[in-house]
Structure 1
């Protein structure tokens, strides 16, 4: 459900230059290794179709690979995690307010100017319940009030409840032009933004083509504009589901950039430099706490977790390339950095797991399955196949639970079907264990998946409720930014100790670039360029 912020940041400040000669120099290089190719085409592969291109109604992670080429946000965060101006030239933040001053001169691809009113209308559109936006509470707090002053070019959001991370939460969301807000269907398969590119062709399931806007002249300081040498004339985003095919095309030079996971990644990594490196939580699950579910009992949740070897699950889920998940938010820019999960999740202890289930009344019968009051302890487990290794991890979990007399019924589906299933009203009363591995850069956004209302009113799929977590989070809201991180660490620690949510795996998420260049500008921002190498 969450976006790839590192891609957005790179496109935000990215001179994506193509070069006629030389080899890739790797992230962090300070000078070009070849002459720029004028009006070249950048070819980029993603693994699935992004769906509706209107971000305000589509929280698909895949869309994050597409929209940043055509849309800008008020701010972006550089490689040091510091906010930099984009559509906003200035901002002021408190725990209950955020004000942007919008720069002049940013033009929409339909020829209209981006105004403070249009920026404000983006947030108003999300808040309007008639629009059914998926970003109420995730990006725009549900209690937010939005005002604008066109003469002063300011947009002001105020909230009743304090919020520690208003700037990263609101500031990096893409801003659409007024025509898109007036007619959302008009940008379902095309674009209307202020970005360097605009979409010229959309063939869902196959490819999307964007063309450089030669009149683009409002880049952040040091960034490229429409006349910068080496900025590609066109960007073609291809849908290539098979990772082996992506690897082959990348190695042959037919692709400039692509993410490759699984067995093919090693051969790509041996020949192609990383372009973007970040970490994602890719393995985790929440136990249902709906009334009447066996996992509503904390002792049962802790026992089930003690029956699992989380280190082995991590190895399987990441194909040996990852590490244990540490906290809710690991996506760049990382405002908070701490390890609350590994020291607080129940440690593997099969004997203790069996004893706890016995004491809770779940006794193993002659058929080997535990039961209580005539009900067998058989977990309804919903998981998705977004990562190729999820299936193997789910099967290993079932094997480890079977060893202590707990059965499992699998509900494994593709990502879209999974999301539809777990967001159905009452799903937590029918499912016991729900796969949960969402990513964002700040923890308060992800907290909506482990606290608060259940679907359709909220995103708390499993109906998780932990009063200690909620109390500490409420206290932390009076702090701003990194000042709140210590409280969030305490809150998450309480949640993991109660085995409400069990994140167990995170892995590197690498997009490889076939010939890349990185330039460091005087203000410290990294501008990344791609080099198209001629044989």
Structure 2
């Protein structure tokens, strides 16, 4: 389906959307050194089976990471936030028209050239709402259309889009054969990337094989560099402690790890790269008939929690409070849209909020309104590890003390996404979206609800929508104050509450690499001896 975590996925470990820029970290740890050696197998972990590998039909971090091996975007972003070449060698924005020049000599894994016409077909596929790509509105502005003339690709925007080029850095391009028969993309690759997908064993592993002659990676990166592996094997390893043990024993070359296991790996001197991320983000289901449809319930549930304590438990004391919704480096709009708007006051204030709204406590202390008990289905990402489980139990016990009946469940990425976008049987979820620019979150905070759209929480916040409409008319960072004010409206109304940030590390053993739009940038991998 759509968004989320990484065991080695995009921009972080844990529930993630995508769209991160550079990691701003060239790696650290004793294992960062070592003699570079050619060939061999680079083995990395992901926390759950990714399902379909169609790169334009999922925004899950696992699929985003896997896609980067076999597919390229039109542009890339370096760790300073500067746009650099990808499939496109030149680019320009003139109002609502974007022109890009497709580089010479780009070929697909099947040997066919990749053309501007192919790029236009990709844009038009994602832009067609009938195709239900979750990348529409996230990495491609709604209403965009594309045409090709020779090597020139022209995007025409329906309305201003201040970060349109940044979005294109996370939009993978599919070759003509894949566009002609998308059914093959579920388990095969049809891309221009540095590797080709050669094996898929569901729930176990995915294998990619290096392509020779690839020269159009980020800023001209290629596969002829010394130290590139002959193949990449991505293994499904749901347990982070297992991943950590495999890293230490040499059974893995890369894995994203949180909590106590991360401290253990750092203490062992393993190589690591770091990405900043939202780790704790709380959503309430606004759908009709759910408790969260009542603003008083959302406010009270937020007031009752000690968010600082939850942050400490979730991150093992290594994190920081939530500040903005888009925190992945390079952050387009830094600031604080959260702290000044949080509903606070503790259990006493929360009880008063519910009392005033008619949610009164019965003889057994369970609250109800008009005969309907306050029952909460609370789901959280099991990939948050032991800290996540402990923090979730703390939150559930607080809500029970407030008078709610709470049924809680830890779910892996695939199950969590199926719940929020599919069955809709949830009331509170901890699911962190990680992006670098605030416009990429708009489809998740407004607009069509799931399953027709990405607005899985059915949020309808008039102040947020008005702020977004105004910010979209501004150029780039000129609209940052307006974007942050729009986010504040979501926090004020307890629609979405970011409460914990953390720097998340991807560790390496027997290899080094860089992080960027994903935890491991494929063309940066270098196998090392020892």
Q: Summarize the alignment of residues 403-418 of structure 1 with structure 2, pairs less than 5 Å apart.
A: 403-410=401-408, 412-418=410-416
User: Taking structure 1 as reference, are residues 466 and 240 closer, same or farther at Cα in structure 2, changes over 3 Å only?
Assistant: same
Give 2:528's aligned residue. Answer: 532
Number of aligned residue pairs: give it: 510
1:34 and 1:435 mapped to 2: Cα distance? 40
| Cα distance per residue 1:471-497 (max 9 Å; x no partner) | 111000012322222211111112211
1:505 and 1:174 mapped to 2: Cα distance? 30
Give 1:462's aligned residue. Answer: 457
Question: Which of 328, 333, 338 is the aligned partner of 2:330?
Answer: 333
Question: Which of 162, 165, 179 is the aligned partner of 1:164?
Answer: 162
Q: Does 491-500 or 40-49 show the bigger shift?
A: 40-49
Q: Summarize the alignment of residues 222-301 of structure 1 with structure 2, pairs less than 5 Å apart.
A: 223=221, 225-301=222-298
Structure 1 residue 4 corresponds to structure 2 residue 2: no
User: Taking structure 1 as reference, are residues 138 and 262 closer, same or farther at Cα in structure 2, changes over 3 Å only?
Assistant: same
- Per the normalisation by structure 1, the TM-score is 0.87
Give 1:60's aligned residue. Answer: 60
1:492 and 1:24 mapped to 2: Cα distance? 41
Give 2:517's aligned residue. Answer: none
Give 1:124's aligned residue. Answer: 124
Give 1:394's aligned residue. Answer: 392
Q: Is the 8 A contact 1:279 1:506 kept in 2?
A: yes
Give 1:356's aligned residue. Answer: 353
| Cα distance per residue 1:89-148 (max 9 Å; x no partner) | 111225633222111111111001110011111112223345442322222233122222
Q: Is the 8 A contact 1:6 1:332 kept in 2?
A: no
User: Taking structure 1 as reference, are residues 527 and 495 closer, same or farther at Cα in structure 2, changes over 3 Å only?
Assistant: same
Q: Is the 8 A contact 1:39 1:231 kept in 2?
A: yes
Give 1:433's aligned residue. Answer: 428
Structure 1 residue 78 corresponds to structure 2 residue 82: no
Give 1:304's aligned residue. Answer: 301
Q: Does 446-455 or 214-223 show the bigger shift?
A: 214-223
Give 1:213's aligned residue. Answer: 211
Per-residue deviation at 1:87?
0.9
Q: Which ranges of structure 1 fall in alignment gaps of 5 or more residues?
A: 17-22, 27-32, 520-524
Give 1:186's aligned residue. Answer: 184
Q: Is the 8 A contact 2:132 2:452 kept in 1?
A: no
Per-residue deviation at 1:369?
1.7
SS of equivalent residue, structure 2 residue 446: coil
Structure 1 residue 450 corresponds to structure 2 residue 456: no
SS of equivalent residue, structure 1 residue 156: strand
2:21 and 2:198 mapped to 1: Cα distance? 18
1:205 and 1:64 mapped to 2: Cα distance? 17
Q: Is the 8 A contact 2:20 2:435 kept in 1?
A: no
Q: Is the 8 A contact 2:320 2:502 kept in 1?
A: yes
SS of equivalent residue, structure 2 residue 322: coil
Give 1:20's aligned residue. Answer: none
Question: Which of 472, 476, 488 is the aligned partner of 1:481?
Answer: 476
Q: Summarize the alignment of residues 1-150 of structure 1 with structure 2, pairs less than 5 Å apart.
A: 1-2=3-4, 4=10, 24=30, 26=32, 33-93=33-93, 96-150=96-150
Structure 1 residue 197 corresponds to structure 2 residue 192: no
Q: Is the 8 A contact 1:95 1:478 kept in 2?
A: no
Q: Is the 8 A contact 1:288 1:433 kept in 2?
A: yes
Per-residue deviation at 1:401?
1.6
SS of equivalent residue, structure 1 residue 327: coil
User: Taking structure 1 as reference, are residues 139 and 195 closer, same or farther at Cα in structure 2, changes over 3 Å only?
Assistant: same
Q: Is the 8 A contact 2:275 2:505 kept in 1?
A: yes
SS of equivalent residue, structure 1 residue 163: coil
User: Taking structure 1 as reference, are residues 396 and 344 closer, same or farther at Cα in structure 2, changes over 3 Å only?
Assistant: same
| Cα distance per residue 1:45-89 (max 9 Å; x no partner) | 222222222111122211222221222111111111111111111
- Per the normalisation by structure 2, the TM-score is 0.88
Q: Which ranges of structure 2 fall in alignment gaps of 5 or more residues?
A: 515-520
1:346 and 1:305 mapped to 2: Cα distance? 6
Question: Which of 369, 379, 384 is the aligned partner of 2:366?
Answer: 369
1:364 and 1:11 mapped to 2: Cα distance? 48
Q: Does 198-207 or 485-494 show the bigger shift?
A: 198-207
Per-residue deviation at 1:11?
12
Question: Which of 295, 302, 320 is the aligned partner of 2:317?
Answer: 320
SS of equivalent residue, structure 2 residue 341: coil
